Structure 1
Amino acid sequence: MTEKLHIVGGGMAGSEAAWQAAQMGVDVVLHEMRPQIGTFAHRTASFAEMVCSNSFRSDDSEHNAVGLLHWEMQAAGGLIMEMAKAHRIPAGGALAVDRDPFAEAVTARLRAHPRIRVEEGEVVGLPDSGKWIFATGPLTSPALAEAIRGVTGAESLAFFDAIAPIVYADSIDMNIAWRQSRYDKGETEDERTAYVNCPMDKDQYMAFIEAMMAADKAEFHEGETAGYFDGCLPIEVMAERGPETPRFGPMKPIGLTNPHNPNVKPYAVVQLRRDNKLGTLYNIVGFQTKMKHGAQTEVFRMIPGLENASFARLGGIHRNTFLNSPTFLDDRMRLRARPNLRFAGQVTGVEGYVESAAMGLLAGRMAAAEILGRDLPPPSPDTATGALITHITGGAEAKTFQPMNVNFGLFPPIDAKGGRRGRKDRYKAYTDRAKDSFRAWLDM
């Protein structure tokens, strides 16, 4: 009888790991503590619930590293990408999804799979025997985090993650705001108008920044330090780096023309992205925040067009734990001190939904191969998945290790010969090479 694979955590990584292993013919027990034990950020008991943004970012597989990661996961029969494409909503060149139907569809597919059994309840320790994958994400329970620390012999690193508020669409004043994707990007009218834009002149912008900086913020407990991942900086932390900083980040006005006043260029623009297929909810792009809830409603209603905004969810901040993977994990994502245990997802030190799911895909495939009596190496470092696993299991400096999104800087350099000197051509060369290598890995 073939050994079972136990997977702890039903987020992006755990869901993908379970699907991949089951599809390879291995019986899987998927452990999920929700709904018995909730978390700060989750609202439902669904697998693969999106708790922050609803975007998987760029879907361009020829010139963008995360788009390439989309392609690789699809080529590997990934459940997360299949369901994301099935439940996509217009977002210009990005792959954004209708978050609740997406999670419900992932849950239904996993629960219906004949080789997957779901066990509800918290796993609080690290088993001595059996094959396990821990994909508990950024909100690993305190008991399990303590067990991990006990085995690694070191404190897990931690940083703070923030989520952005969500606004009801019918509370946005469209006499002030307008619909347009930056540079009118998108193949359809829906995609070209996927974002709602709220313009600010210079006086409005400076007053907004001043109010945001003065607002009450969430405080940290004694002994905690606020180390943020740069890709999810709270908007007010960004402004602390200089009052103009948000205007060159999420509030940049370039590529947008206000049809209400086309001859005047806004000084800054706040963008909102559709959050569900019905178009009834919009999240404020890049506006992760640690402001207290009362302050958020007051400050965000200073944004032109949001003066009467009604919020479906306010922003918040939570602690996010991850392993020092270059120290503790081998290139098969196994804990060096306990090789029967694998880790996957954000707890390994990758950042982002897609990256987390990709590490689940690898862990699930490698664990299933081991159970079936063969060794499956990781993909080549010149693939997106291979570049990520190489980075977290040895490519990064352990002393300065921090969560990382996929990017071409993690790939082996491309030969610049043959006339490929422009950035666009260079990125195309990266993705062409990666697709060839990934196809070869799938054939192993």
Structure 2
Amino acid sequence: METLHIIGGGMAGSEAAWQAAQAGVPVALYEMRPRIGTFAHRTGNLAEMVCSNSFRSDDDERNAVGLLHWEMRAANGLIMEMAGRHRLPAGGALAVDRDPFSESVTARLRAHPLITIHDREITELPAEGQWIVATGPLTSGGLAEAIRAETGAESLAFFDAIAPIVHADTIDMNIAWRQSRYDKGETEEERTAYINCPMTREEYEAFIDAMLAAEKTEFHPGETAGYFDGCLPVEVMAERGRETLRFGPLKPVGLTNAHDPAVKPYAVVQLRRDNALGTLYNIVGFQTKMKHGAQTTVFRMIPGLENSGFARLGGIHRNTFINSPRLLDDRMRLKSRPNIRFAGQITGVEGYVESAAMGLLAGRMAAAQILGRDLPPPPPETATGALVTHITGGADARTFQPMNVNFGLFPPIDAKGGRRGRKDRYKAYTDRAKAAFALWLG
């Protein structure tokens, strides 16, 4: 049987390989790491989590990304299975212990009898055979040039940022306290999954001043790409208005200071567990382009983090993606080279889950073609279908930008003569999607 070739062993490539192999198709998976590294990756493992350790909300009844979790589980997705096995307490979010997670994905793929993993770089777009390009935001220079040469235009690009990680035993728990926002979670562990650092108005104002004055990483001349709004550097948010952070990641709502319940904090910095041992915590929403020296100074102004030790400081990198609405058909194939599909973040979806979902779909579509069948995309009423519809024609190619899954991508729900509340409307979206996705799987 013909072999499916997949370039890139991140979330999308790993899921695509798993789906195709489970369908009975031989897979050759090419991952350049660890032979050729990137500034962001630390290991040679597949599906390594680079930025956050969170797959975001796991609510599959009223949240679009939670619905996407449900669909991937229904499709026997490897990424969701391994995320569940290595889940960490995070309130209503699905956070994972990142190293055991990627190690488990790697082990499962290496053990599959139909999957062969090659640690080498691919720098050309092959003319023959069935291929999936799932190289993500850090596509190597050689392959990026080959894509540009084929598409006849520069890839679009934006900048993505990484949040710092703190050693838990350096957080002052006489100031900070454990609580998930609104005490969300079914167990005590989940309800206390976050560490909260309170700020007075004076502390918040001083923090904003220091952050705005801190030395930042400067981009090279000619780099004019923007930021993805779902992952803005914290200082860029502050530049948009001094109160922006108080209505974003530092909002003080749903939290009560255990050390002083009668006093409402002016702002609250949250840290989320980053590993199963509970020894590492990432600062939620604190992606940054501040230089490393400035980061340690500014972040230690946060009450409770005055003596914090950093396991990793934040950073920023260029993130490239193709103009999928112009270049791809609805089977995710490159129109000029139908033997090549694209999947993952390089297609213009944003987030671990969205990337893996596009890998799942590309893997199934490619496997179906090799097996002599045609697999249409899921209906646009589903989360997976809404995403692929958006990137393969639903979005305006002239203004195309990376997108997380959200209900704004779904066909509207018929209110049947009456107005729905937001929660009822979102529940209607998910009920409709689950029924449609089950039919598509069948």
TM-score interval for Structure 1 and Structure 2 normalised by the shorter chain: over 0.9
Residue 147 of structure 1: aligned partner: 146
Show CA shifts across 1:165-195 (max 9, x none): 0000000000000000000000000000000
Alignment identity in percent?
A: 82
Show CA shifts across 1:321-361 (max 9, x none): 00000000000000000000000000000000000000000
Q: How does 1:126-141 map to 2 (within 5 A)?
A: 126-141=125-140
Q: Distance in 1 between matches of 2:140 and 2:299?
A: 32
Structure 1 position 419, deviation (Å): 5.8
Structure 1 position 417, deviation (Å): 1.7
The 3-state SS of whatever aligns with 1:400 is coil
Q: Distance in 2 between matches of 1:418 and 1:164?
A: 46
Whether 1:308 aligns to 2:307 is yes
Which consecutive residues of structure 2, in runs of 5 or more, have no partner in the other structure?
Answer: none
Structure 1 position 301, deviation (Å): 0.2
Residue 397 of structure 1: aligned partner: 396
Q: Distance in 2 between matches of 1:424 and 1:86?
A: 29
Residue 76 of structure 1: aligned partner: 75
Matching residue's letter, 1:162: A
The 3-state SS of whatever aligns with 1:271 is strand
The 3-state SS of whatever aligns with 1:29 is strand
Whether 1:95 aligns to 2:94 is yes
Of 420-429 and 267-276, deviating more is 420-429
Matching residue's letter, 1:64: N
Q: Distance in 1 between matches of 2:381 and 2:32?
A: 36
The 3-state SS of whatever aligns with 1:358 is helix
Q: Distance in 1 between matches of 2:382 and 2:303?
A: 44
Q: How does 1:370-389 map to 2 (within 5 A)?
A: 370-389=369-388
Q: Distance in 1 between matches of 2:258 and 2:76?
A: 43
Q: Distance in 2 between matches of 1:172 and 1:428?
A: 39
Show CA shifts across 1:383-424 (max 9, x none): 000000000000000011000000000000011127661111
The 3-state SS of whatever aligns with 1:159 is strand
Whether 1:67 aligns to 2:66 is yes
Structure 1 position 89, deviation (Å): 0.5
Q: Distance in 2 between matches of 1:311 and 1:350?
A: 30
Q: Distance in 2 between matches of 1:119 and 1:55?
A: 28
Structure 1 position 147, deviation (Å): 0.4
Residue 37 of structure 1: aligned partner: 36
Q: Quickly say closer, same or farther: Cα 1:298–1:226, change in 2 above 3 A.
A: farther
Structure 1 position 127, deviation (Å): 0.4
Whether 1:408 aligns to 2:407 is yes
Q: Distance in 1 between matches of 2:4 and 2:25?
A: 7
Q: Distance in 2 between matches of 1:111 and 1:420?
A: 52
Q: Distance in 2 between matches of 1:373 and 1:44?
A: 37
Residue 428 of structure 1: aligned partner: 427
Q: How does 1:282-293 map to 2 (within 5 A)?
A: 282-293=281-292
Q: Distance in 2 between matches of 1:72 and 1:420?
A: 28
Show CA shifts across 1:352-373 (max 9, x none): 0000000000000000000000
Matching residue's letter, 1:232: C
Runs of 4+ in 1 over 6 A off after TM superposition: none
Structure 1 position 105, deviation (Å): 0.3
Whether 1:417 aligns to 2:416 is yes
Q: How does 1:225-264 map to 2 (within 5 A)?
A: 225-264=224-263
Residue 360 of structure 2: aligned partner: 361
The 3-state SS of whatever aligns with 2:76 is coil
Structure 1 position 320, deviation (Å): 0.1
Q: Quickly say closer, same or farther: Cα 1:134–1:143, change in 2 above 3 A.
A: same
The 3-state SS of whatever aligns with 1:273 is strand
Q: Distance in 2 between matches of 1:56 and 1:7?
A: 23
Q: Quickly say closer, same or farther: Cα 1:423–1:331, change in 2 above 3 A.
A: same
Structure 1 position 226, deviation (Å): 4.2
Residue 274 of structure 2: aligned partner: 275
Q: Distance in 2 between matches of 1:209 and 1:44?
A: 35
Structure 1 position 159, deviation (Å): 0.4
Show CA shifts across 1:280-303 (max 9, x none): 000000000000000000000000
Matching residue's letter, 2:434: K
Matching residue's letter, 2:349: V
Residue 175 of structure 1: aligned partner: 174
Q: Distance in 2 between matches of 1:315 and 1:230?
A: 17
Q: Quickly say closer, same or farther: Cα 1:196–1:328, change in 2 above 3 A.
A: same
Q: Quickly say closer, same or farther: Cα 1:88–1:420, change in 2 above 3 A.
A: farther
The 3-state SS of whatever aligns with 2:398 is helix
The 3-state SS of whatever aligns with 1:128 is coil
Residue 265 of structure 1: aligned partner: 264
Q: Distance in 1 between matches of 2:419 and 2:105?
A: 40
Matching residue's letter, 1:227: G
Matching residue's letter, 2:114: R
Q: How does 1:147-226 map to 2 (within 5 A)?
A: 147-226=146-225
Q: How many residues align?
A: 442
Matching residue's letter, 1:166: I
Q: Distance in 2 between matches of 1:4 and 1:325?
A: 25
Instruction: With the length of structure 2 as denominator, give the TM-score of the two structures.
Output: 0.99
Residue 15 of structure 2: aligned partner: 16
Matching residue's letter, 1:99: R
Residue 326 of structure 2: aligned partner: 327
Q: Distance in 1 between matches of 2:183 and 2:150?
A: 52
The 3-state SS of whatever aligns with 2:116 is strand
Instruction: With the length of structure 1 as denominator, give the TM-score of the two structures.
Output: 0.99
Q: Distance in 2 between matches of 1:127 and 1:63?
A: 42
Residue 47 of structure 2: aligned partner: 48
Structure 1 position 40, deviation (Å): 1.2
Residue 4 of structure 1: aligned partner: 3
